[in-house]
A and B are shown apart, each in its own frame.
Chain A
Amino acid sequence: MLRWLIGGGREPQGLAEKSSVQTIGEEQIQNPYTELLVLKGHQDIVRFLVQIDDCRFASAGDDGIIFLWNAQCLTVLQRLDVWLSGGSDLCVWNRKLDLLCKTSHLTDAGISALVELPKNCVAAAVGKELIIFRLIASNDGSEGWNVLEVKRLVDHQDNILSLVSVHDLTFVTGSHVGELIVWDALDWTKQASECNFWDSSVHPDAQPEIKLSQSPNETSVQHLTFDEECVFAAVGKGIYVYNLQMKRVIACQRTAHDSSVLHIEKVPNRQLISCSEDGSVRIWELREKQQLPAEPVPTGFFNMWGFGRANKQANQAAKKMQENTPMYFLELVGDLIGHSSAVQMFLYFGELGLATCSADHLIILWKDGERESRLRSLTLFQKLAQNGDLQLKF
């Protein structure tokens, strides 16, 4: 494509660079998102989206503004100007936003993630440490609470970046150097750990070039998500699926994106959505691998004019990791390209669509065009009826 655009085969240096990222052609039958709407409001990087209810969400950006959006009728509902304090202390607030109690200053690093555990406990990731706090109601019957540090877990080698509670009994942490530790939520012991996502020995068929470019960024566990049986980890540019029962990685996509994966989320139908610094959002499907030796999916035809990076190695990253086990692989079923900068986060609204926020100051709502068209027709006939235009008049 770009080569065609530039014409004459004189390809600039930078473009010649090959990448092993799997690409999908322009024909994406399974991709339901055929309509997009750009929401402009923020003046700076949009960092965070939070879902409020079925159709509303709020976005927060570096500009210090929180917008409240309605994903259905696509209007800005509200605009709040807030100032958020960073978290170097642990504070307990009640619903009235009264400060109930707070811990003493912990470290310089501050709390990067917090998760609630059973028995009034919270796990806070502070630097390399995972600190378990217990909230104790004060004895005098007042509303006061005390926060008690119960335990410090120092198993991680590097800063803990992600922390997710899978269910009542388990929570998982991921660190900057790619360690994934599964913890027991009750006694805070290590149940399992996986710390060699990058280890090429696990992936006999991995590309040599990946080895060369080992760096902490490549292996840091950026984000974790889970379903009943698996934990999905965004590790560097890749996505790994870790089965809690089998206590091992059952599927992986080592280079799911051109750049770090920033956020992943499990959506129904065994699908997974990931977004990355490279500005794209990709939709994956976890599929059981056939026993047949995996053939690389031909990408040739539709990529006839594809970007220069479309190449043969694309699918090989998805190859099996270990023999003689039921293998899964992550199949790319669609990608969403709209942002011109890193996609920080996204929210999945079911059939309402997907909201992505990005460093390009934009929020994009991705919607199912068919559904939207139907809804518009509905609205149209409602309006016709409202205007009394549907009656037969002669």
Chain B
Amino acid sequence: MISAPDVVAFTREEELEDELCSEPPLPEEYSVPLLPFASHGANPWAKVASSKFTRDFILISEFSEQVGPQPLLTIPDDAKVSGTFDLNYFSLRIMSVDYQASFVGHPPGSAYPKLNFVEDSKVVLGDSKEGAFAYVHHLTLYDLEARGFVRPFCMAYISADEHKIMQQFQELSAEFSKASECLKTGNRKAFANELEKKLKDLDYTRTVLHNETEIQKKANDKGYYTTQAIEKANELASVEKSIIEHQDLLKQIRSYPYRKLKESDFHPYEPECALDPANAGCDQDLATSDLAEPGETHLYAHVPSYTPKLIKAKSAKCFDKKLKTLEELCDIYFFSQTLDQLHQIERTFRGDVCYLLTDQISRALLKQQSVTNFLFEDVSFLDEKPPEKRYRGCQGLSQDAIDGKCSEESPAPKVVISLGSYKSSVECVPIKMEQEIEDSQEPKMTDSVTFEHQENLDYLDADIKGSISSGESIEVLGTEKSASGLTKSESQASLPVSPSPQAGRSKVGSRRTVSEDSIEVLSTCPSESLIPEDFKASYPSAINEEPYVDDEEGGLRFTPKLNPDNADEQEDVSKRENLVQVDSACCIGKESPNFLEPVPDLGQKPCDEDGVVRIPPQPYRPAEQGLRGSFGGFPSHDGVSGGLLPYELDSRYLTGNREVSKSSLDECSDSTSYISSAASTCSDRTPSPAHPACLASERHKKKAGQNALRFIRQYPFAHPAIYSLLSGRTLIVLGEEEAIVKKLVTALSIFVPNCGVYAKPVKHWVTSPLHVVDFQKWKLIGLQRMVSPAGVNVLHALSRYSRYVSILDADSKTLRCPLYKGTLVSRLADHRTQIKRGSTYYLHVQSILTQLCSKAFLFTFCHHLHLPISEREPEESVVNRRMNFLKLQLGLANEDIKIVQYLAELLKLQYIQEPGQGVNPLLRFDYVPSFLYKI
């Protein structure tokens, strides 16, 4: 969606490969060091050969107190996935880094066990020998029968692509945190149930023992105690002690701090029955049977009545008993939710990292184009927080279930206090991010920014290097927010430190040759307990918690803004800046060289005439992505014009390239390596739609693209038809067969601009006569042609309103619509296009439409194109100026003008629309003659 190069790079893979193979070798002095994998196979595109698994998967392991680390399950649950990969070995590896799970069961001085609400830890592991890299998420679950009541687990996302792990660290972390929180919530619930049962048992045992003692007392009036009696008394005492202990445990697990979220307006787990800490203290006195407050009894009311049994006071902590399975440890509902989430993660991150990156880049860019992107972008894609949205979506169903099934459900788990704060002795990477943030907000300082980045790059490199030398040991390299005194911004900024694609890649190469058999912990995320309060909110905890959404944006996703609250505002500001800059430039006119450029080859620059890509897809990162984008080989042009004018952008890319070529070889190779990574093929060739909510729409896009491609090839009059759609003239597809009509409508729908942020103005199938209101509402209509008298009415209506519509007759393959003599559509829909795949064509269309949008944006928001400069300026001169701008500056010919005018009108309507009020549906039309096209 960003620009054509992205598109072509992926479509022409095969040819490129061949080309590369057949090319004669460069002279030694010019050659760039080969990729380290080159030795494995001649094809640098091929994935790392050393990995023993075919695709990414998720592994859940446990550090069993009985048998040690063991793998529990994989997602997808398919033996083929892990292949010959040694899961046991890897489990051992990943569990062994759990340096922080040093659970302290009995703090000195405390009389009874104490639960610690341990935070999850997040680390990245690399095992170059296995060719596996993993994001590892450690967590602990409570188990009454386990040592110290805890069972350490970990969830790992294992991939052969280190970049994916490194670059998607934040995303992985966020998603796994959700899964983890869900699992832990279910576990707490199960644990509480377990405790209750145990308490009932104990209570029962106590009663029995008590009775026995009484009987013995009565039976024995000799005045001294038999050993039997003493034994019983001891047993009773130990039961009493056990009861107190368990009561305390129960109290602890229930007092798990469910913090009310500040900005939350949505609480699936609304803690209506959460314990007030103040009250919590007194329930110690309460009898075991009638547990605590009414709220609590309510809370666990659904627990089926349990028949207590006699138990031994001392719990058997021995190795002969069978530990609970993961499933048993967790409430079944939450367990299935967790699995769902994990499957979701697997789907989300499946495929080559370039898809994920492209998707994220598009998303970030689109966010900058908030004024125009409603026109052609997918509504779901437009959503500000797509992952969360999706999440909400998938939760939608279960929401009812939650409400219905467990209105008594445990409240939103949120950690406020951490009883033990685990500071690991991990090195801190004190990267000063603030400077960058400033930089990225100043568009003019590109040079210094580059410089800055270079420095950082080196810095980071140095850090990585530091660990490379050590061979066998496990190294923890990552960041650690050790100082709780860190300011919020600092801690925030240091979080997203994952090496850039370039730096990372190149280092990987060199490192791999050195390290023999090592697991490198490349990055860790510290325990949450150390994170300042505000920041902590950005860790989504429970599966349903949307309120995090905002913080997520500000904190965890790539937004280096100092203040998350201001982020949007600042974004807006910069947007306006751009606007104003452009405005003044184009209105004053000749000052801006951009506008003086010859325009016919608008947007063609990245490609040669033959369509071969000259410029590789770049990790173009907009301003908010400054953090990561800044590491790229290119100066990050903080989105001065997130795609305002295509050639502006292009020229920027070009200068970027030039700068690169001038800069150090190191950086240059970086960028090359990035290209290869972007173009590399993954074992799993299914492109991963980064946001599975769009899975369906992805499929739809593919299909629509394919159909559109067919339409263009099949119908010589595709251009006027598409012109009709782009200029807001309703196109009616008329036909007898629903399937054919719907197919055409689907194909054409990708050209229909949206009128608002709602669904596309497309109606797939209509059988009744149309009215003028329909043309106001729908811009593409599939209409049934019937032979019956009713059908004649339909046609009558159609001929009556013929001035408002273009009609495509699917049966006789004719089209009646106004003439089109512009050039824009021919680029959009070239019937000789080399594009073969529907999804590719869809992207091509999107990229051209995005260019179009930027033109419309410029046109709409240029003050003097619409309003007189001086008060006395006559309207005609404004009109002239406007037309000149369209023709000369935007390079539009003939009917293309009408397209931009229509889009501009939509932009205006959208912008001036009052919040809460829908856009007034207008029907604009021209009195232009129509012509009949035949095949």
Is there an interface contact between B799 and A12, defined as CB atoms closer than 8 Å?
no
What residues of A have a CB within 8 angstroms of the CB of B483 in the complex? none
Residue tally, chain B, CB below 8 Å to A = 53
What residues of B have a CB within 8 angstroms of the CB of A31 in the complex? 927
B665 at the binding interface (Cβ < 8 Å)? no
Residue in contact with B802 in the complex, picked from A12, A26, A372, A390, CB distance below 8 Å: A26
Is there an interface contact between A74 and B920, defined as CB atoms closer than 8 Å?
yes
Is there an interface contact between A35 and B922, defined as CB atoms closer than 8 Å?
yes
Is there an interface contact between A5 and B924, defined as CB atoms closer than 8 Å?
no
Interface residues of B in 796-853 (CB under 8 A from A): 796-803, 807, 809, 811-812, 814, 816
Is there an interface contact between B799 and A393, defined as CB atoms closer than 8 Å?
no
What residues of B have a CB within 8 angstroms of the CB of A28 in the complex? 927
Is there an interface contact between B912 and A383, defined as CB atoms closer than 8 Å?
yes
Is there an interface contact between B577 and A379, defined as CB atoms closer than 8 Å?
no
Task: Identify 4 new A-B residue pairs, CB closer than 8 A, beyond the known A26-B929, A37-B776.
Answer: A5-B809, A35-B922, A37-B921, A38-B776
The 10 A-B pairs of least Cβ separation, nearest first, read A377-B866, A28-B927, A2-B799, A389-B576, A376-B908, A338-B772, A1-B799, A5-B795, A379-B912, A26-B929
Rounded to whole Å, the gap between the CB of B836 and the closest CB of chain A is: 34
Rounded to whole Å, the gap between the CB of A154 and the closest CB of chain B is: 44
Q: Which positions in B face A, CB cutoff 8 Å? A: 442, 572-573, 576-577, 579-581, 584, 734, 771-773, 776, 792, 795-803, 807, 809, 811-812, 814, 816, 860-861, 863, 866-867, 901, 905, 908-909, 911-912, 920-930, 932
A74 CA to B914 CA, complexed, in Å? 13
Please name the residue on chain B nearest to A303 by beta carbon.
B929
**Chain A window 352-384, contacts with chain B (Cβ cutoff 8 Å), 1 for yes, 0 for no:** 000000001010100001001110111111011
A81 CA to B863 CA, complexed, in Å? 45
Is there an interface contact between B867 and A38, defined as CB atoms closer than 8 Å?
no
Please name the residue on chain B nearest to A385 by beta carbon.
B863
Is there an interface contact between A27 and B927, defined as CB atoms closer than 8 Å?
yes
What residues of A have a CB within 8 angstroms of the CB of B912 in the complex? 376, 379-380, 383
Is there an interface contact between A393 and B573, defined as CB atoms closer than 8 Å?
yes
Please name the residue on chain A nearest to B772 by beta carbon.
A338
What residues of A have a CB within 8 angstroms of the CB of B860 in the complex? 377, 380
Is there an interface contact between B803 and A380, defined as CB atoms closer than 8 Å?
no
A393 CA to B911 CA, complexed, in Å? 21
A302 CA to B818 CA, complexed, in Å? 12
**Chain A window 11-36, contacts with chain B (Cβ cutoff 8 Å), 1 for yes, 0 for no:** 01000000000000111110100111
Is there an interface contact between A4 and B932, defined as CB atoms closer than 8 Å?
yes
A378 CA to B908 CA, complexed, in Å? 10
Given the known inter-chain contacts A26-B929, A305-B816, A334-B927, please indicate yes or no for A377 contacting B908, CB distance below 8 A.
Answer: yes
A93 at the binding interface (Cβ < 8 Å)? no
Is there an interface contact between B911 and A380, defined as CB atoms closer than 8 Å?
yes
Interface residues of A in 70-119 (CB under 8 A from B): 74
A68 CA to B895 CA, complexed, in Å? 39
What residues of B have a CB within 8 angstroms of the CB of A381 in the complex? 863, 866-867
Is there an interface contact between B799 and A378, defined as CB atoms closer than 8 Å?
no
Rounded to whole Å, the gap between the CB of A307 and the closest CB of chain B is: 6
Is there an interface contact between A36 and B772, defined as CB atoms closer than 8 Å?
yes
Please name the residue on chain A nearest to B901 by beta carbon.
A373
Given the known inter-chain contacts A7-B812, A27-B927, A34-B926, please indicate yes or no for A340 contacting B799, CB distance below 8 A.
Answer: no
19 contacts between A and B (CB under 8 A): A5-B795, A26-B929, A27-B928, A31-B927, A34-B927, A36-B772, A36-B922, A37-B922, A305-B816, A307-B799, A307-B800, A340-B800, A362-B773, A373-B901, A373-B905, A373-B908, A377-B867, A389-B576, A391-B580
* A-B contacts, CB under 8 A, total: 134
Residue in contact with B773 in the complex, picked from A4, A40, A304, CB distance below 8 Å: A40
**Chain A window 278-314, contacts with chain B (Cβ cutoff 8 Å), 1 for yes, 0 for no:** 0000000000000000000000011011010000000
What residues of A have a CB within 8 angstroms of the CB of B932 in the complex? 4, 304-305
Residue in contact with B929 in the complex, picked from A7, A25, A340, CB distance below 8 Å: A25
What residues of B have a CB within 8 angstroms of the CB of A376 in the complex? 905, 908-909, 912
In this complex, the member of B584, B796, B809 whose beta carbon has the largest number of chain A beta carbons within 10 angstroms is B796
Residue in contact with B925 in the complex, picked from A34, A305, A307, CB distance below 8 Å: A34
Rounded to whole Å, the gap between the CB of A232 and the closest CB of chain B is: 25
Rounded to whole Å, the gap between the CB of B875 and the closest CB of chain A is: 8
Residue in contact with A26 in the complex, picked from B905, B920, B930, CB distance below 8 Å: B930
Is there an interface contact between B924 and A26, defined as CB atoms closer than 8 Å?
no
Please name the residue on chain B nearest to A307 by beta carbon.
B799
A162 CA to B922 CA, complexed, in Å? 35
A309 CA to B773 CA, complexed, in Å? 25
Q: Which positions in A face B, CB cutoff 8 Å? A: 1-2, 4-7, 12, 25-29, 31, 34-38, 40, 74, 301-302, 304-305, 307, 334, 337-340, 360, 362, 364, 369, 372-374, 376-381, 383-384, 389-394
Given the known inter-chain contacts A25-B929, A37-B922, please indicate yes or no for A340 contacting B795, CB distance below 8 A.
Answer: no
What residues of A have a CB within 8 angstroms of the CB of B580 in the complex? 389-393
Residue in contact with B792 in the complex, picked from A6, A372, A377, CB distance below 8 Å: A6
Given the known inter-chain contacts A28-B927, A376-B905, please indicate yes or no for A393 contacting B772, CB distance below 8 A.
Answer: no
What residues of A have a CB within 8 angstroms of the CB of B922 in the complex? 35-37, 372
What residues of A have a CB within 8 angstroms of the CB of B929 in the complex? 25-27, 301-302
Please name the residue on chain A nearest to B795 by beta carbon.
A5
Please name the residue on chain B nearest to A364 by beta carbon.
B772
A392 CA to B861 CA, complexed, in Å? 14
What residues of B have a CB within 8 angstroms of the CB of A378 in the complex? 866-867
Is there an interface contact between B796 and A2, defined as CB atoms closer than 8 Å?
yes
Is there an interface contact between A35 and B772, defined as CB atoms closer than 8 Å?
no
Rounded to whole Å, the gap between the CB of A40 and the closest CB of chain B is: 7
Please name the residue on chain A nearest to B789 by beta carbon.
A12
What residues of A have a CB within 8 angstroms of the CB of B773 in the complex? 38, 40, 362
Please name the residue on chain B nearest to A12 by beta carbon.
B792
Is there an interface contact between B576 and A340, defined as CB atoms closer than 8 Å?
no
Is there an interface contact between B798 and A5, defined as CB atoms closer than 8 Å?
yes
What residues of B have a CB within 8 angstroms of the CB of A377 in the complex? 860, 866-867, 908
In this complex, the member of B442, B792, B795 whose beta carbon has the largest number of chain A beta carbons within 10 angstroms is B795
A374 CA to B679 CA, complexed, in Å? 48
Please name the residue on chain A nearest to B814 by beta carbon.
A4
What residues of A have a CB within 8 angstroms of the CB of B930 in the complex? 26, 305
Rounded to whole Å, the gap between the CB of A2 and the closest CB of chain B is: 4
Please name the residue on chain A nearest to B860 by beta carbon.
A380
Rounded to whole Å, the gap between the CB of A345 and the closest CB of chain B is: 18
Please name the residue on chain A nearest to B771 by beta carbon.
A340
What residues of A have a CB within 8 angstroms of the CB of B442 in the complex? 394
Please name the residue on chain B nearest to A379 by beta carbon.
B912
Given the known inter-chain contacts A27-B928, A40-B773, A383-B911, please indicate yes or no for A35 contacting B923, CB distance below 8 A.
Answer: yes
Is there an interface contact between A37 and B925, defined as CB atoms closer than 8 Å?
no
Is there an interface contact between B772 and A374, defined as CB atoms closer than 8 Å?
no
A378 CA to B865 CA, complexed, in Å? 11
Please name the residue on chain A nearest to B579 by beta carbon.
A389
A277 CA to B508 CA, complexed, in Å? 81
Please name the residue on chain B nearest to A339 by beta carbon.
B772
A34 CA to B727 CA, complexed, in Å? 14
In this complex, the member of A338, A362, A373, A381 whose beta carbon has the largest number of chain B beta carbons within 10 angstroms is A338
What residues of B have a CB within 8 angstroms of the CB of A340 in the complex? 771-772, 797, 800
In this complex, the member of A302, A307, A377 whose beta carbon has the largest number of chain B beta carbons within 10 angstroms is A377
A391 CA to B580 CA, complexed, in Å? 7
Rounded to whole Å, the gap between the CB of A243 and the closest CB of chain B is: 32
What residues of A have a CB within 8 angstroms of the CB of B925 in the complex? 34-36, 369
Is there an interface contact between A26 and B867, defined as CB atoms closer than 8 Å?
no
What residues of A have a CB within 8 angstroms of the CB of B799 in the complex? 1-2, 5, 307
What residues of B have a CB within 8 angstroms of the CB of A393 in the complex? 573, 576-577, 580
A147 CA to B807 CA, complexed, in Å? 62
Residue in contact with B734 in the complex, picked from A1, A5, A35, CB distance below 8 Å: A5
What residues of A have a CB within 8 angstroms of the CB of B771 in the complex? 340, 360
In this complex, the member of B580, B812, B927, B928 whose beta carbon has the largest number of chain A beta carbons within 10 angstroms is B927
Rounded to whole Å, the gap between the CB of A213 and the closest CB of chain B is: 22
What residues of B have a CB within 8 angstroms of the CB of A394 in the complex? 442, 577
Rounded to whole Å, the gap between the CB of A26 and the closest CB of chain B is: 5
A378 CA to B795 CA, complexed, in Å? 40
A25 CA to B929 CA, complexed, in Å? 7
